[in-house]
A and B are shown apart, each in its own frame.
Chain A
Amino acid sequence: MMKLEAIIQPSRFESVKDALREVGIEGMTVTEVRGHGRQKGHTEVYRGREYTVDLLPKLKLEMVLPDKLVNTVVDTILKTAKTGKIGDGKIFLSRVEEAIRIRNEERGENAL
């Protein structure tokens, strides 16, 4: 099992979610986050006051996947979250030791 974390543009979320549903991913955790990588912020002036937007709004998706689905999901996110501009985000993958469903204590991939 792998844990996938993807930082994406908020504007791409609906497309990513729909595409993931099509490949069989129904569950994920979504968090509103702010940050920046190479895409630096910018300064906006409004009514004489400067607003520096150095941390840009992004969404973080988290999901734990059975090994056989990892490549499909990564491809799907790459395809749907990409606009080609700086700031499209990143995907992180890490190995997961165990998953347990609290309701019935199922373990492993059955718990996903």
Chain B
Amino acid sequence: MQGSLTPLSVLGPQADDERHRIREQFAAGVGARETLHALCELADNNIRQIFGEMLRVHNAPPAGLCLLALGGYGRKLLFPYSDLDILFLFGHDKAEQEFRPLIADFSRTLWDLGFRVSSAGRTLEECKRIEEDNAEFHLALLDRRFLAGDSELFERLDARVLPASEKTARPFLLAQLHKLTKERLARYGNTIFHLEPNVKDAPGGLRDYQASAWLRQIRGEKKEPLSSSAAEEELAFGAVDFLSAIRCFLHYSNARNDNTLTYELQAAAAERSLGVADRVPRNAAEWMRLYFRHARTLNRQLLRYLEQKTPVPQTLRQRFISAARSAKSAPGVGKPFAVRDGLFEVLDVKELSDRAVLFSLFTEAARKGVPLSRRTERSISYVMKHPELPTRNADVNWPVLREILISDYPGVALRPLQRLGLLTEILPEFSRIDSLVVRDFYHRYTVDEHSLRTIEHLQELADSADPRDTHFKELWKTVERRDLLILSLLLHDVGKGMPVDNHVSGSLEALEGAAARLNLTAEEKSEVHFLIGRHLDMSATMQRRDIFDPATVSAFAATVGTQERLQRLCLLTYADIHAVNPEALTPWKAEMLWQLYVATSNHFSRTLDTDRLHAHDEVSVLEQVRAQAGRPATEDVERFLEGFPRRYLAVHSAAEVAAHFALHQKLCAEPVQTELHARGHSFSLTLLTADRPALFATIAGVLAGWGMNIVKADAFANAAGVVLDTFHFRDLHRTLELNPSEIERFLGSLRDVVNGKAPLEPLLKGRESASRARVPKVSVETSTGFDDGSSAHSTLLEIVAQDRPGLLYDIGSTLARLACNIEVALIDTEGQKVIDVFYLTEQGKKLGEEKQESLRQALRAALV
């Protein structure tokens, strides 16, 4: 070594003083951008000085070696404790050997001065090659900046070598950047809404902005349709400033390169209103909302770029295929949107100012599970703000929202609705939890994110291969009133954003306003009220009670009331636990939840006839029914209700009971009373009459004869022997739907057969051949089981079998043939599987063993 370096004892304190000065200025309010530039300048000056001195000391000419700044340092955005990414570029292989001692001295000196150097060395020749296992290096090279040394060498790299190799490597770099970005976003659950976010790497962090810039750079975009507007660029610029200020603050506070915005540092940043021009101290929750707003800007921009397809020249064949696909995805007449490449695209932006049209787009998305493209969201956002496109049909009511919530993929619509601010237009209550951070040990996401995730976890059940989901999948497919379940999930935690001691009571208070505004019926509101009010019950029971103790199950069943509610509450609990954090729903918890569900479900079906109504004690019910029925004599209503299983009240509203009572009062004039209601493509039939042999089988036979497929049924009898049967069925041939005049003929036929005025057999004959010809999609094994222990009065028969038209008639007529009396029947269908439970007696007593065996054989023969 010749000559001597400026001593570290001089350079070290100079660098420290400068670092201290920059830090003081940042603390005094100097912006992040200036701070980062100052830190960069400090590093640049030191590097240039030391490199110059090293060349002098080593007596080496700079030809053949130059220094490049890469990555964030290359962009002149150097955070206080970030590494200095430096590339030593050599003109040829020999230069690498020659400069090795110089580089070692240089790097050591920088370390001693407190700079964290992360260096790499490449020859010019090596820079031409694409390192397929090191895409990060090539991405960092995109931000190259000359620091010191052989400037001609840098020119050759910058102007000749890299532009050529980057052009060739464009598809590789794009694919790798997509892959790396998607992996990074997935590591953070694809959401910006973390309670303690990483401001660099999490979705919405600074890395998102950088990835957008790289995508744009690699594609060589200058001006193209998807580039951000000036307003969007300004928003992104502001977001980068805000997040940069936080990252500087985190580095200074932690004295290391730690980018996690912890609760403690959120409070400290909010106190000094970090990144906000007015400098007015805020509470942490308020300041975090600003953070999420900025993070959303950066994340939205990145997702739009990720979605964008790179124009690639197509062959003639590819163009033919593409044209054919476009034709296939052509919209239906009058629809201003269509599915293209698996995303909804807008064809006529102006049409979206009509809210009816706009919401029909969201409904389609929820039905098909096809997301809106980012471009579509951007168009909607534009329409919502554009003064020349005034909103038409702005009144979005419950039936419109319901269509979305009842679909198979409600989350696919609710996400963009939330991002666009439309969700809070319909449900202003949801704004209380917008980006709300509630600190607790378990939750990982903000309250609104948690709520939307619950819904997404449910919709994902349909296609889930996760063993934890096996049982819940079936529940999701068959749950009734899915709309009310989803509405409950949207509202279940809004109380967390209200000034109340208990968030559940806050959420219930919010429901009052939402129910009134949406015009929910009393029954709908009551169901949502139950689900919100009890949303922690199932979880608490399974974790704090002995779920294998019948008393626990019985007490829990009493709070739930019906099988239908149990199903909704179980799914809500599953989703609520699942959305706490990715690890929250352990297989252990999933199993406990399922065990409690099964035990309670079985409790419902096995205790039906032990829990009968004593109408005289039901003061409130009597009063409600009388009020609905025009105030008839209390004794008459009592006589009607006396002896029905309690489930009867649990599954029918007061209005429905009043309607049944009205039918009951007409029995003297006409011994078979019927009522039919259409529900979409399904129908619901209520039939009241005096009990008689084979009644259930007869009704089932008439329905089968008319081509109706029964999916659900209840059969109850009161103490006076009046039978009330409810059948829900699908009109397979749309006979009643397309020919309204047939409804009266159908009901007349039903009454005649039940009254014995017309035979059943001719009706059934025509249907036999058609039904036997159909091949089922899935095969369900038939099983029959008897249970003598659950009921004091009856033998329970459970039948699980393959669904087919006329099945219930076959079962019912077999039971009638063997003189079994149906006390209660519960008929249910899950896809192609029927699950029927009958409470049977023979001459008022349980079935003997011999009878059970002959019934088993007869059913086996009938159900083959």
Q: Chain B nearest CB: distance from A38 CB in Å?
A: 15
A48 to B547, CA, bound (A): 21
Q: How far is the CA of A47 from the CA of B830 in the complex (A)?
A: 10
| B-side contacts of A44, CB under 8 Å | 595, 598-599, 602
The answer to the question of A95 belonging to the interface, with a C-beta cut-off of 8 Å to chain B, is no
CB-based nearest A residue for B835: A47
Given A44-B598, A48-B798, A57-B592, A32–B586 Cβ distance below 8 Å? Answer: yes
The stretch that binds B, out of A7-15, A21-29, A62-70, A104-112, is: A7-15
Contact among A9, A33, A48, A56 with B783 in the assembled complex (CB-CB below 8 Å): A48
Contact A10 B800 (CB under 8 A): no
Number of A-B contacts (CB under 8 A): 50
Interface residue A96 (Cβ < 8 Å from any Cβ of B): no
Task: Tell whether A45 pairs with B588 under 8 Å between CB atoms, given A9-B546, A10-B543, A51-B598.
Answer: no
Asked, given contacts A46-B602, A48-B800, whether A11 binds B588 with beta carbons under 8 Å apart, the answer is no
Find out whether the CB atom of B785 lies under 8 angstroms from the CB atom of A46.
no
Whether A103 is near chain B, meaning CB under 8 Å from some CB there, is no
User: Among the listed B543, B595, B835, which residue makes an inter-chain contact with A53, where contact means beta carbons less than 8 Å apart?
Assistant: B595
The verdict on B545 contacting chain A, using a C-beta distance below 8 Å, is yes
Q: Which residues of A contact B599 (CB under 8 A)?
A: 44
Scoring A13, A14, A48 by chain B CB atoms within 10 A of each residue's CB, the highest score goes to A48
Partner of A56, one of B548, B586, B598, B601: B548
Contact with B along A41-78 (1 / 0, CB 8 A): 01011111101010011000000000000000000000
Distance of A46 Cα from B798 Cα, bound (Å): 10
Q: How far is the CB of A34 from chain B (nearest CB, A)?
A: 7
Contact of B546 among A42, A48, A51, A83 (CB under 8 A): A83
Measured in the bound complex, the distance between the Cα atoms of B543 and A32 in whole Å is 11
Q: Answer whether residue B774 sits at the interface, using C-beta atoms and an 8 A cutoff.
A: no
Closest A-chain residue to B543, C-beta based?
A: A10
Is B100 close to A, CB under 8 A? no
Residues of A near B591 (CB, < 8 A) are 34, 57
A34: chain B residues within 8 A (beta carbon): 588, 591
The answer to whether B222 has its CB under 8 Å from any CB of chain A is no
- Taking CB atoms, residues of chain A closer than 8 Å to B544 are 10-11, 13-14
The smallest beta-carbon distance between B43 and chain A, in angstroms, is: 33
CB distance from B295 to the nearest CB of A (A): 32
Nearest-Cβ distance from residue B179 to partner chain A, whole angstroms: 35
**What does the 1/0 interface line of B604-645 toward A look like (CB < 8 Å)?**
000000000000000000000000000000000000000000
Quick one: given A44-B598, A48-B785, A48-B835, are A11 and B592 in contact (CB under 8 Å)?
no
How far is A49 from B782 in the complex, measured between Cα atoms in Å? 11
A42-B548, A53-B595, A83-B546 known; A47 and B588 CB under 8 Å? no
Determine the distance from Cα of A2 to Cα of B134 in the docked complex, in whole angstroms. 50
Chain A interface main SS type: strand
| A32 neighbours in B (Cβ, 8 Å) | 586, 588-589
A47: nearest chain-B partner, CB-CB: B835
For B783, the closest partner residue in chain A by CB is A48
CA distance A39 to B857 in the complex (A): 37
| A51 contacts across to B, CB distance below 8 A | 598
The CA-CA distance from A53 to B588 in the complex, in Å, is 12
Interface 1/0s, chain A 93-104, versus B by CB < 8 A? 000000000000
Q: Please encode chain B, from 817 to 854, with 1 for each CB lying within 8 Å of some chain A CB and 0 for all others.
A: 00000000000001001010000000000000000000
Complex Cα gap A46–B589 (Å): 19
Shortest Cβ gap from A99 to chain B (Å): 24
Docked-complex contact B602 and A11, CB < 8 angstroms: no
Q: When A46-B601, A51-B598 are in contact, do A11 and B835 touch as well, CB less than 8 Å?
A: no
Name which residue of chain B comes closest to A10, CB basis. B543
Closest to B602 in A: A46
CB distance from B537 to the nearest CB of A (A): 15
A56 to B835, CA, bound (A): 27
Provide the residues of chain A in CB contact with B595, threshold 8 Å: 44, 53, 57
Bound-state CA distance A34–B595 (Å) is 14
Q: Which residue of chain A has its CB nearest to the CB of B781?
A: A48
Contacts of B602 in A (CB 8 A): 44-46
B782-796 contacts to A, CB under 8 A, are: 783, 785
Instruction: Pick from B542, B548, B598 the residue with the most CB of A within 10 Å.
Output: B548
A47 touching B548, Cβ below 8 Å = no
Q: Given A10-B592, A32-B586, A34-B588, do A47 and B543 touch, yes or no (CB 8 Å)?
A: no
From the candidates A14, A47, A53, A83, name the one contacting B800 in the complex (CB within 8 A): A47
Within the complex, which residue of B546, B589, B783, B833 is in contact with A11, where a contact is CB–CB below 8 Å? B546
**How far is it, in angstroms, between the C-alpha of A78 and the C-alpha of B545 when the chains are bound?**
18
- Chain B nearest CB, measured from A48 CB (Å): 3
Q: A10, A34, A44, A51: which has the most chain B beta carbons within 10 Å?
A: A10
A87 to chain B, nearest CB (A): 8
For A14, give the chain B residue with the smallest CB separation.
Answer: B544
The contact sample of 18 A-B pairs, CB cut-off 8 A, is A9-B546, A10-B544, A11-B543, A13-B543, A13-B544, A34-B588, A34-B591, A45-B602, A45-B785, A46-B598, A47-B798, A48-B785, A48-B798, A48-B800, A48-B835, A51-B598, A57-B591, A57-B595
Known: A45-B785, A47-B835. 10 other contacts (CB 8 A): A11-B543, A11-B547, A14-B544, A32-B586, A44-B598, A47-B800, A48-B798, A49-B800, A53-B595, A57-B592
Counting from the closest, the 3 A-B pairs by CB-CB distance are: A48-B800, A32-B588, A46-B598
